[in-house]
Structure 1
Amino acid sequence: MKTIALYDGTCSLCKETKRIFEKLDWLNKVEWISLQEYEKTSNPISISRQDLRKELHIITSCGDVKKGYFAVRRLLILFPVSFIFSILFYLPFIPQIGNPLYQWIAKNRHKFLRKKCDDGSCSL
């Protein structure tokens, strides 16, 4: 089973993140599904609609759910080109910096994307 990445298909930052990560995924280990499509199907893993829109979520091949910084960290370690770099994200104390930084970017994405986010989807 592939890792499933759930992203907001209406968010410019999310779509750009998906585009970049797909280029890194040479071995095709990740299946990207918009959360809008994911919500239309019956799924064994229940994640609230509000939580899905706040940050990137992945479902690992083992069925574990990772979100935000921890999802990005897990994705980067899957890709050959980013594997060595991604090890830095697993060093002690890095999550204490990386997670709040991810949360801040996710919370303020509408400020970064004013010109690309016309429909207001980035303002959650």
Structure 2
Amino acid sequence: MAKNLVFFDAQCPLCYHTKKILQVLDWKKRISWMAVQEIEESPYAFLRSNDLYDQIYMVSSSNLIFSGFHTIRKILFEIPLTRLLSMPLFLPFIDKILQPLYLFISKNRYRWFGRYEVPQFD
């Protein structure tokens, strides 16, 4: 079965620690992770024209591209322990509320959580 591939900012402490927690919860290994800092050497270099440092991106197992809130929702749906938590995120119009909230957090994450000088790839 093909995995979902999530692109995260390896210089962002919030992103890095969220990834580490989600990896522990993902015992079925449905999600792979790649730092946006490594995208140039990958088959996904075509994504570099997107706002990869502003939003989290995912290429799903069915080759659909998700970004921002939609990526978070898909990740939570794919992980067995968080699937139930993801269900309300599929309600009609919830993305109209949560996408702006996601963008607000993303825009302020360096101010609130700092920034690693060296990307954290593990």
Q: Into which bin does the TM-score normalised by the smaller protein fall?
A: 0.7 to 0.9
How far, CA to CA, are the matches of 1:74 and 1:103 in structure 2? 17
User: Cα deviations across residues 49-99 of structure 1 (Å, max 9, x unaligned)?
Assistant: 561111110000111110110000000000111111100100112111110
Structure 1's consecutive aligned runs of 4 or more residues displaced over 4 angstroms after TM superposition are: none
TM-fit CA distance, 1:37: 1.7
Paired amino acid for 1:59? V
Identity of aligned residues (%): 30
Choose 8-17 or 62-71, whichever is displaced more.
8-17
How far, CA to CA, are the matches of 1:60 and 1:105 in structure 2? 23
Q: Which residue of 1 aligns with 2:105?
A: 105
- Counterparts of 1:68-83 in structure 2 under 5 Å? 68-83=68-83
TM-align CA RMSD: 1.9
Q: Which residue of 2 aligns with 1:19?
A: 20
Q: Please tell me whether residue 37 in structure 1 is matched to residue 20 in structure 2.
A: no
Change beyond 3 A, Cα 1:118–1:2: closer
TM-score by length of 1: 0.86
How far, CA to CA, are the matches of 2:32 and 2:112 in structure 1? 27
TM-score by length of 2: 0.87
- Counterparts of 1:49-64 in structure 2 under 5 Å? 51-64=51-64
Higher RCO, Cα 8 Å, sep 6+ = 2
How many residue pairs get aligned? The number is 118
How far, CA to CA, are the matches of 1:118 and 1:42 in structure 2? 26
Change beyond 3 A, Cα 1:91–1:16: same
